[in-house]
Amino acid sequence: MFYKRRDDGYKLALEGIRQKTLVYGKEALLTEFRLSEGSHLPRHSHPQEQTGYLVSGRILLFIGDEELEAGPGDSWCIPGDVEHGARILEDSVAVEIFSPVRTDYLPETESG
């Protein structure tokens, strides 16, 4: 599967948080998030492992009892079922891989 960059196709996940699944396979899924300054991702958990990379901007990331003020080039890995969340300190772009695949992030034609 290939993906050529496009500026459309983002879904509003939460106020100030847009996401788009770029590519996926049998075991992993790659998603881009565009995050607006001042938005907040409430603490939550899911069974998938989540590995991320901050392309641009600045976020305060909470994983379990730890926190990191992440800037461009910083990365993280969140084990499955561990509570995590974030505060967006500047407009940001992050890419994250979920494994196994998050079926709720599949394009609608694929997820049913």
DSSP, collapsed to helix, strand or coil, labels residue 45 as coil
* Model confidence pLDDT, tens digit, residues 39-65: 999 999 999 999 999 999 999 999 999
pTM here is: 0.91
Give yes or no for a contact between 35 and 92, defined as CB atoms under 8 angstroms apart. yes
Q: Which of 96, 103, 104 is nearest to 49 (CA)?
A: 96
pLDDT score for 109: 61
List, for residues 30-41, the tens digit of each pLDDT value.
Answer: 999 999 999 999
Give CA 76 to chain center in angstroms.
11
